[in-house]
């Protein structure tokens, strides 16, 4: 007697077939599988994700306004009312650190994107064109790179003045030579592949060659450099704000919070402890994430 299939049984059979269907293996999927096996990289990803959530929902997480001054609660140690204590103006340090995540992360993101679209584009052009174009671009980058990054950024901010646009421009110009050199190396790594030579042989245009064939295949290495530069940008911003040439008060940037607490290091060390921990944890998380991405995109780790 033939077995009768109902519509419900047919739906169940289709779901089982779809569930048991093998996933098509792609380079991105293989990289994700290697990344998942790296526990430290997952920890870095989780910490970065939490910091992004803190930055996005700072208005709901912070118990006080970061500018609110309470002269009856000045220099209070950490307590249930003020988790990280208060500063010399009675401002809640926890709220300032929470809002500081928004400023530090987003400004670092803008700085790194600006460096990628300036120095990174120059590096891509130099790596693809080669010859005199490569020599001219990289020699100019060598001149910029001869000046330490933090010193160049400080000089630019000193000329342009304090403010977020000025800080973004300073970090962008300071990071541009290194970003150009890294992206040039990523393009040169792809430049000698057989499929690039085949594309050139059949007459593929230069723009199509760069944006359709070379950049997508070098994107993994570029992402690693991009994530690593986020930590560098945060360190540079915090360093400049700490010495007084970054953002202006009362912006709740982590370096500025450190600057506010340096005069009270011996009497109230908590004023510097918590913002310093925020900087350390953030940069450490980005470094863990960058190392995990490097291992995931490295073909030798297969």
Instruction: Answer whether 257's CB lies under 8 Å from 302's CB.
Output: no
CA 42 and chain centroid, separation: 16
CB-based burial of residue 222 (10 Å sphere; 0-12 exposed, 13-18 middle, 19+ buried)? Answer: buried
CA distance 75 to 82: 11
CA distance 46 to 285: 9
Angle between helices 164-191 and 215-242 (to 10 degrees): 150
Cα 184–Cα 188–Cα 191 angle in degrees, nearest 5: 135
Tell me the pLDDT of the chain (302 aa) as tens digits: 445 556 666 666 666 655 555 555 666 677 777 778 888 989 999 999 999 999 999 999 999 988 888 888 888 899 888 889 898 888 999 999 999 998 889 888 888 888 888 888 888 888 888 888 889 998 988 888 888 888 888 888 888 877 888 888 888 888 888 888 888 888 888 777 776 667 767 776 767 777 777 777 777 778 888 888 888 889 888 888 888 887 877 888 898 889 888 888 888 889 999 999 999 999 999 999 988 888 777 655 44
């Amino acid at each position: 007697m033939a077995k009768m299939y109902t519509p419900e049984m047919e739906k169940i059979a289709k779901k089982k077939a779809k569930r048991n269907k093998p996933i098509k293996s792609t380079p991105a999927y293989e990289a994700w599988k290697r990344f998942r096996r790296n526990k430290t990289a997952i920890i870095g990803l989780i910490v970065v994700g939490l910091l992004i959530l803190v930055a996005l929902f700072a208005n709901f997480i912070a118990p006080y306004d970061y500018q609110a001054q309470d002269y009856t609660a000045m220099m209070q140690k950490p307590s249930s009312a003020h988790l990280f204590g208060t500063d010399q103006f009675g401002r809640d340090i926890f709220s300032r650190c929470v809002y500081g995540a928004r400023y530090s992360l987003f400004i670092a993101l803008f700085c790194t994107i600006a460096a990628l679209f300036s120095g990174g584009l120059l590096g891509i052009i130099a790596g693809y064109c080669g010859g005199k174009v490569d020599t001219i671009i990289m020699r100019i980058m060598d001149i910029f790179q001869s000046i330490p990054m933090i010193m160049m950024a400080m000089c630019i901010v000193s000329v342009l003045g304090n403010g977020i646009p000025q800080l973004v421009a300073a970090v962008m110009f300071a990071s541009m030579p290194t970003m150009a050199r890294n992206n040039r190396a990523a393009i040169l790594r792809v430049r000698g592949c057989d499929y690039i030579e085949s594309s050139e042989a059949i007459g593929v245009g230069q723009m199509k060659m760069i944006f359709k064939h070379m950049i997508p295949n070098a994107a993994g290495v570029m992402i690693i450099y991009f994530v690593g530069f986020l930590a560098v940008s945060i360190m540079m911003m915090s360093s400049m704000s700490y010495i007084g040439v970054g953002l202006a008060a009362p912006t709740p940037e982590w370096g500025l919070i450190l600057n506010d607490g340096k005069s009270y290091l011996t009497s109230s060390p908590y004023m510097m402890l918590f913002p310093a921990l925020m900087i350390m944890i953030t940069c450490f998380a980005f470094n863990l994430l960058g190392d995990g991405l490097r291992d995931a995109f490295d073909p030798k780790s297969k």
